[in-house]
Each structure stands twice: as C-alpha cells, then as structure tokens.
Amino acid sequence: MGKTHRVLVASLAVLGSVASSCGSDAKDTAATTAATSTPAATATAASNTASATTVPTMTGTITVFAASSLTEAFTEMGAAFEKANPGAKVIFSFGGSGDLVTQIGQGAPADVFASADDSNMTKLVEAGNASGTPTVVAKNSLEIITEAGNPKGIATLADLATPDLVVVLCATTAPCGKLAALVLKTAGVTVVPKSLEDKVKGVVTKVTMGEADAGIVFATDVQAAGSKATGVAIPAEQNAVTNYSLVVTKQATNTTTASAFIASVASPAGQAILAKYGFLAP
C-alpha cells in the first residue's frame, strides 16, 4: 500500500471516530432533555407558577349578632378569622336569640345572625330578614349550674323544687328558657324561679355571684364558668338538644366577608374551636 493511500485511510478512520462521538453526544443531549421534561419536573414548574398567585383574603368589617352562649367560642373564632384575613374585622353583639331577632327586624345593622335554637332562626327567615339558607354549625344540651362545690348538694332536677332553694332560669323568650321549661316538664318537676333572665349569661352570673343557688343553662356555659361554678348532669332521657345555626342577614352590607365567616365556623378549624368550648358536632 502506498504512503498516500495509507494517509487517506487513517484520515477516514479519524472522521468516523469523530462522527460516532458526535452521534453519542447528540443521544446524550436528547436523553438529558427528556429527563428534564419528566412529569415531576413539569409539576415543579407548575407549582412555582401557582405559588406566585396571590390568594385573596376577606376585607372590611362585619357585625355578628350571636347567642350569648357563643360568647367565649366566638370571641376566639373572631380573632382567628381576623388573623387569617388581616383586612377584616369582626364585631360581636351577644344576647338572647329572641332579642337579637327582634333587633334585626327593627333594622339593627347585623351582617350575620347566630341562633341558639331552630325556632328563632325560623322566625328570622320567615320575616324575610335572612339571605340564603342557614348553616347548622353545632349542638348543645342543658345542665344544672350550682355555686362552686355544689354546697346545697343538688343531684337531680327534682331537687330544684326544694322550697328554700333559690333557683333562676332563662325567660322563655330565650332558647335556654324554652328548653329548660321542656326539660322540667319531661321530668315532671315544677320550679318557681326567683327570677327570669333574658339571656343565659344572666343565669350564670347570678349563680356564680352567690345571688342564686342553682339554675339551668347550656352545658357549655357551665364549662365556661370554670372554677366559679359546678355542673350537675341532666339524664339524656330528660335532657334536650338544640341546634346552633348561622345565616347572612338580608340587610348585610358585607355579604362576601359575612359568608366567609360562616364558612370558617363550619370548617374543621372552626369546629375544633367549638368542640374546645364543649359544643357538640352538628
């Protein structure tokens, strides 16, 4: 083989080697490109895009008219809602459900109504003062409340009929009074109360201040009183259960935030707060 021919063969061999190398690089590049286009990589990119989206929060002030037995739970609920929505503010007006319905009917500026029973919520709805369908968020039952340590040794509903015992009850315009009357009737007990309070907190105050020996309130109110009072359970066959429901009022000026507040109460986080204060699941 001549010298020139050998050089040509060597040159072709080198070119073949280079071409093979380039082909390998091209395959590697294609493989790398495919690897970076996996579903995981695509999901990461989508996640990064989504994280750049701002989640809107509620703003403005809402006024919530709520049953007085919700005082402690809703105070915490309002603080949690405001923390989650820095632009929002929740103002509460606590009272007897019947009185609150009357106030709303007379034009009181409420965005949300929270009732401690079905009848007062029905009254609000039938009067045309509700917007949308009420949402049941909790249940509650009754309990006898006594002074701390139960010095009179009250054990049953029948004991409340003792002549020298000072007993206070809610007026029948309030859910606690309506239910107490039902419970006493079921138990066949007649009680002559020293006074009738327009809201459940009035009964709690008179008992814890020593102005009364006992009363009938919601179980959650006994729990809220803490060491200032002692509770005496009422047997299930004599007791009564009530629903707590919320609705946006017809005259609400901030329906978006009002609806969001109701949703927060019905959410798992809201339900956890209600359970913390002794309310039963809806």
| DSSP one-letter code for 228 | G
- What proportion of the chain, given as a percentage, has pLDDT over 90? 79
Q: What pLDDT score does 140 carry?
A: 98
Q: What is the DSSP string of 98-119?
A: HHHHHHHHTT---SEEEESSHH
- pTM, rounded to two decimals: 0.78
Q: What pLDDT score does 57 carry?
A: 76
Reported residue count of the chain is 282
Strand segments, DSSP code E, in the chain are: 59-67, 87-95, 112-115, 130-147, 167-170, 195-197, 214-218, 229-233, 241-249
Q: Is the pLDDT assigned to residue 240 strictly greater than 70?
A: yes
Q: What is the mean pLDDT of the chain?
A: 86
Higher pLDDT, 61 or 5: 61
Q: What is the mean pLDDT of residues 196-207?
A: 96
Lowest mean pLDDT among 50-54, 165-169, 276-280: 50-54
78-109 pLDDT, tens digit each: 999 999 999 999 999 999 999 999 999 999 99
Q: Is the pLDDT assigned to residue 281 strictly greater than 60?
A: yes
What's the CA gap between 32 and 205, in Å, rounded?
75
Higher pLDDT, 196 or 38: 196
What's the CA gap between 204 and 147, in Å, rounded?
10
Q: What is the mean pLDDT of residues 39-45?
A: 41
249-269 pLDDT, tens digit each: 999 999 999 999 999 999 999
Instruction: Show the domains of the chain with their CATH numbers.
Output: 59-139+243-276 (3.40.190.10), 140-241 (3.40.190.10)
Q: What pLDDT score does 51 carry?
A: 38
Q: What pLDDT score does 235 carry?
A: 97
Q: What is the mean pLDDT of residues 210-239?
A: 97
Q: What pLDDT score does 56 carry?
A: 60
Residue of 74, 72, 103 lying closest to 91 (CA atoms): 74
Higher pLDDT, 113 or 51: 113
137-157 pLDDT, tens digit each: 999 999 999 999 999 999 999
